[in-house]
Amino acid sequence: MNRKTYNAAKKTLENNCYAINLHNQLLRRTLPSREFYVHQWNWDSATHAMALIHIDEMRAYEEIYSLLSGQWVNGLIPHIIFNPSETRYFPGPDIWDTEKTSGTTIATSGITQPPLITISAFYMYKTAKDRNQARIFQKNVIPKLVAYHEHLKKYRDPENSGLLTIIHPWESGTDNSPRWDNVLQQIDIGSIPDRIKETVNEGRTDNKLGELDDRPKVYDYYRYLYLTDLYKNWQWDFVKIVRESPFAVKDILFNAIWCYANDSLAQFLEETGKGKDAKKFRVWEQQTRDAIQSLWNSHSQIFKLINVTQGKKISIYEDTIANFLPLLAKAVTKTQLTQLINQLLDPKKYWSPVPLPSIALDNPKFELTRYWRGPSWPITNLLIIEGLRNYEMSNPCKKLQLKIIKKTMSMIEKYGFSEYYNPYGENTYTKRKTLGFGSFSWSAAIYIYLAHEYKLITF
């Protein structure tokens, strides 16, 4: 660990801090990046809080309280909580138009993100030094997390399969991954109303503020906005959305985090002597683990996704970083573990000079700079590091985990706090080493978290 980078990481989190008056309380929240992402994002904040708990416990709690302030009466924790007066980001609150259905006066999006918040909240509770404050936090957040899990189970797994359905690529957190290509391509561009295309052409800012080649292509954006427009017209009726949307997928990354989140929630409840209430979440945890296990294809060595759009059941095989997330859900057998480790360490697949690329280097869809279609992201590295921890009794896992920690930290030390990174580092035909937007809170938070959690602080 490098002291200079550690201090710079703290500074980045300070610079991206935004205090907001919510229900007569001043709460500090962290924006992902002032260059573009000027609101609060769900799983980013969950990650920020895991770092903040090591440096400023109250601010860590505020990060989560602020996120929960946007929770809907039906339990949904949205993927964006908007900051009033910020206009740089598109699509803004008017595109979502959730206030009539959310039951909250706080402007939010209408979809969610991987439920990392539960994992983060339990981690914060365990880690905090001030036990009184930790117990207050526990008391405040548990009912909200329970409501969120019940919401997800009820609306996203109506058939009780153990696997939740996502209704938008953005819910996966890996927005532009090739995992969505086949499903999205079924939405005929010609059938998308011109007014939506015009809104995208006029409103989109990511491709103007950032590099065009780093961002999703225009047809993807038309489809993203077509989906949000549909859901807005259906007044965020999730029963209808899950049944009738042209995009409904059982995703491996989302479900692996869901499995782990149920384990965290169960432990959180058990800690408060509510072992009886915890049982339901233990059942959901195991049900999801078994369901994930059934998605493995031993020939391709890939955990498949299922396209469940409008009653379909079509397997999706795509070699991306999501394939390693079952490690986090403890859903991997011994043989699978060896095969996954071999893939991670294969220089032709995932062990690039700056690992881990978001899709396999030999996947024909690999693109060096376009987000989620090649570049390396600290967040997925972190989830794999934590996943390998479940298997750390095995020597190769421990070794690999340490290697990924080292590589992730040196990537950040060398190239700064970027949104994502060139997986080839400097040995490449493009000179660009950092990609996406800069001064990024996630990358700073992950550096701080790794330094503390893996005891790499040397000062």
| Locus of tokens 């989109």 | 204
Distance of CA 263 to the CA centre of its chain: 18
**Cβ-based nearer residue to ligand GLC, 162 or 375:** 375
Residue whose tokens read 């077509």: 226
Q: Helix 116-127 vs helix 42-55: angle between axes, to the nearest 10 degrees?
A: 10
Element of type H or E holding 342: helix 334-344
CB 173 to ligand GLC: min, Å = 4
CB 268 within 8 A of CB 196: no
Nearer to ligand GLC, 65 or 377 (CB): 377
Among residues 367, 363, 361, 323, the alpha carbon closest in space to that of 341 is found at: 323
Q: Which is nearer to ligand GLC, 32 or 387 (CB)?
A: 32
List of residues contacting ligand GLC (CB under 6 A) = 32, 37, 41, 43-44, 173, 175
Closest approach of ligand GLC to the CB of residue 392, in Å:
27
Residue (2 or 358) nearer to ligand GLC, CB: 358
| Dihedral over Cα of 442, 444, 447, 448: its sign | negative
Pick between residue 162 and residue 173 the one whose CB is nearest to ligand GLC. 173
For residue 20, the 8-state DSSP code is E
Catalytically active residues, by annotation: 175, 419
How many Cβ atoms sit within 10 Å of the Cβ of residue 316? 19
Cα end-to-end span (Å), the chain:
9
**Rounded least distance, CB 323 to ligand GLC, Å:** 18
- Closest distance to ligand GLC from the beta carbon of 37 (Å): 5
Provide, rounded to whole angstroms, the least separation between the CB of residue 10 and ligand GLC. Answer: 19
Residue 224: exposed, middle, or buried by beta-carbon count in 10 A (0-12, 13-18, 19+)? buried
CA distances from 209 to 75, 367, 370, 417 (A): 34, 20, 15, 17
